Amino acid sequence: MNIFMTGATGYIGGTIARRLLDDGHTLRGLVRDGEKAKKLAAFGIEPVIGGLDDAAILAVEAGRADAVINTANSDHRGAVEALLDGLAGSNKPFIHTSGSSIVADDAYGDVTSDKIYDEDTPLEPVPGKKARVEIDRTIRNASQRGVRSIVVCPTMIYGNGLGLARDSAQIPGLAKRAKASGVVRHVGKGLNVWSNVHVEDVADIYSLALAKAPAGAFYFAENGEASYRDICTAIARRLKLGAPQAWPFAEAAKELGESGAAYTFGSNSRVRGKRTRSELGWQPKHSSATAWIEAELPL
């Protein structure tokens, strides 16, 4: 297939791109400037200069491609609408990358939730995630417009990226701050639990979804879970630092931002990818974020 992709220079997108290139597909990737275009071309992807606000470029590229994959921004409605407009009536696949903070709560790190979602669980998002959920629904409903639309919803992703970007946001971000301060910190008590998944296993989902996911499909990407306290304990062991410390929400928000502290680092996000396994036949190869941290997290 000739695939148009956004976010190919990023952590998730780069690893997915590597997998798709290895599968024999050809890729065109959206980039904002010439320097990134050179890097993308050297990686084996034909660059397209533009941004997510360039609706005309996105629609044209979607129309000429055999498939479209969006890994650039889960919350950019304009880009999603432009890509769907370019694909309408074609029955070509469009795979959009969401994120499991759509099931986030307001735990602020202090509570372990017993609520676990799968793809069929009714969802009532917290106010900060309603817009993302509505975008996901718009994409799934595009199946009625002649688009084989698919939403993949990763959880906390770990592992070294295989593209131009090596690191994810959550775990490497905590480690970077710990190196700078000498202390590993989790929001609140760190009792909040996130499902997690290895980045190479995520790439496998996109490969499978491209081949056989039905229109309107939604898939969680997860294979294990851990509390932030356990994640931070693993980071401390890897970096040979002392026991993790609580980070009061108000202080964490000053550094991470209100949304980051509340949802990315302070919420519970527990899901199960039942349809990912039953419909796609996905068989993840990795199972433990904490084991990866202690053995492989870059120092």
pLDDT of residue 125: 95
Residue 70 lies in a domain: yes
Residue 85 lies in a domain: yes
pLDDT of residue 174: 96
Q: Which residue has the tokens 């307001």?
A: 106
Pairing of strands 156-158, 46-49: unpaired
Residue among 165, 125, 133, 163 at smallest CA distance from 151: 133
pLDDT of residue 296: 97
What's the DSSP call for residue 263? Answer: I
Residues 140-163: pLDDT tens digits? 999 999 999 999 999 999 999 999
pLDDT of residue 219: 98
pLDDT of residue 50: 98
For residue 227, what are its two tokens? 């509390």
Residue 52 lies in a domain: yes
Low-confidence ranges of the chain (pLDDT < 70): none
pLDDT of residue 220: 98
pLDDT of residue 141: 98
Residue 191 lies in a domain: no
pLDDT of residue 254: 96
Residue 183 lies in a domain: no
Residue 82 lies in a domain: yes
pLDDT of residue 201: 98
pLDDT of residue 279: 98
Decide: 100 and 155 in contact? Cβ < 8 Å: yes
3-state secondary structure of 186: strand
pLDDT of residue 109: 98
pLDDT of residue 43: 97
The domain that contains 77 carries what CATH number?
A: 3.40.50.720
For residue 1, what are its two tokens? 């297939």
What residues make up the domain containing 35? 2-106+115-162+197-223
CA–CA distances in Å: residue 3 to residues 99, 101, 147? 22, 27, 15
Decide: 297 and 219 in contact? Cβ < 8 Å: no
pLDDT of residue 281: 98
Decide: 104 and 160 in contact? Cβ < 8 Å: no
Residue 89 lies in a domain: yes
Number of domains in the chain: 1
Residue 87 lies in a domain: yes
Q: pTM here? A: 0.97
